[in-house]
């Protein structure tokens, strides 16, 4: 059996996370019962930061997996590898988390195929077990193990959505971009720009968020605002910084770029 060093998965330092609606207390109660939790919300609004913060607060190791459509059940559970002495089993991240009692965070779970997603089912009910079919082993999850997934409702389509049989195994917390004052505080704190600049960046984001569904798939996220703040704090001229971090990543449509650039120029 693989020997795991749980300490490498510990969150070493308190991550900065601004609680907005008592989500920390709700999560803590869910964790006390080891309830699987789903974090719902648009990209870059603080879901991953929240899990890191909660893992730190609860003193649990955290194992994060970025899900994608090529991911197979073996990528989560583990596989036999060939080495000079023959075959050797290697635990996947989900198995490692179940063994050491980590919080396992499956980021953007919808990206994974459904035959991959079903491997988490036995871990989410009273069984709290993980069958390693290829190895012929049945793991009982460590008492501290918890499963957390993130989900962006904006991307959902009929082809790509979680099955009800998966959804209904999780309690869910809604996430969204924080209100303007709090978001400006986060941007200032994360980047070192002054409150006035942070406030302007947030106002630019608000304009683009109104364009969601009207030419933009998503508005500017808190993550991109943090990038903009970082560039400005590095001494880059604000409109150039905003172009690089808020406009160019968001869209390739020339008209939409012009609209976004005009929004930037209103404030800087």
Nearer to ligand ADP by Cβ, of 49 and 60: the residue is 49
**Dist. CA 222–CA 10, nearest whole Å:** 25
Contact window for ligand ADP (CB under 6 A) among 46-54, 58-66, 109-117, 259-267: 46-54
Return the half-sphere exposure (C-beta side, CA atoms, 13 A cut-off) of residue 151. 22
Q: Which of residues 161-190 bind ligand ADP (CB under 6 A)?
A: 178, 186, 190
Cβ atoms of 114 and 21 closer than 8 Å = no
First to last CA, the chain: 59
The residue length of the chain stands at 268
- List the one residue from 9, 31, 47, 110 that touches ligand ADP (CB under 6 A): 47
Among 24, 35, 43, 261, binds ligand ADP (CB under 6 A): 43
Residue 25 has which token pair? Answer: 């207390």
Task: Establish if 18 lies at the interface with ligand ADP (CB under 6 A).
Answer: yes
Please choose, from the candidates 88, 55, 56, 50, the residue with its C-alpha nearest in 3D space to the C-alpha of residue 174.
50
Q: Which helix (H) or strand (E) covers residue 14, if one does? A: none
Q: Closest CB to ligand ADP belongs to which residue?
A: 46
- Least distance in angstroms from the C-beta of 242 to ligand ADP: 17
Per CB under 6 A, does 76 bind ligand ADP? no
Q: Rule CB under 6 A: is residue 229 a binding residue for ligand ADP?
A: no
Residues that bind ligand ADP in the complex, under the rule CB under 6 A: 16-18, 20, 41, 43-49, 178, 186, 190, 222-223, 226
């Amino acid at each position: 059996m693989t020997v795991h060093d749980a300490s490498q998965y510990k969150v070493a330092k308190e991550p900065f996370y601004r609680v907005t609606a008592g989500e920390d207390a709700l999560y803590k109660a869910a964790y006390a019962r080891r309830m699987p939790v789903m974090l719902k919300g648009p990209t870059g609004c603080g879901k991953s930061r929240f899990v890191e913060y909660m893992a730190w607060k609860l003193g649990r190791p955290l194992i994060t997996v970025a899900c994608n459509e090529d991911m197979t059940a073996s990528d989560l559970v583990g596989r036999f590898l060939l080495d000079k002495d023959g075959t050797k089993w290697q635990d996947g991240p989900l198995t490692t988390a179940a063994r050491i009692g980590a919080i396992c965070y499956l980021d953007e779970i919808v990206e994974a195929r459904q035959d991959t997603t079903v491997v988490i089912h036995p871990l989410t009910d009273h069984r709290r077990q993980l069958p390693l079919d290829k190895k012929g082993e049945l793991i009982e999850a460590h008492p501290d193990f918890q499963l957390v997934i993130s989900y962006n409702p904006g991307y959902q389509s009929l082809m790509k959505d979680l099955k009800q049989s998966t959804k209904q195994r999780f309690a869910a917390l809604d996430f969204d971009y924080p209100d303007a004052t709090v978001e400006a505080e986060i941007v200032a704190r994360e980047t070192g720009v002054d409150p006035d600049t942070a406030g302007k960046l947030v106002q630019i984001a608000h304009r683009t968020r109104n364009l969601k569904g009207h030419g933009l798939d998503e508005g500017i996220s808190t993550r991109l605002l943090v990038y903009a703040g970082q560039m400005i704090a590095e001494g880059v001229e604000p409109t150039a910084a905003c172009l690089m971090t808020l406009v160019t990543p968001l869209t390739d449509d020339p008209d939409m770029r012009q609209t976004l650039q005009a929004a930037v120029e209103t404030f800087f």
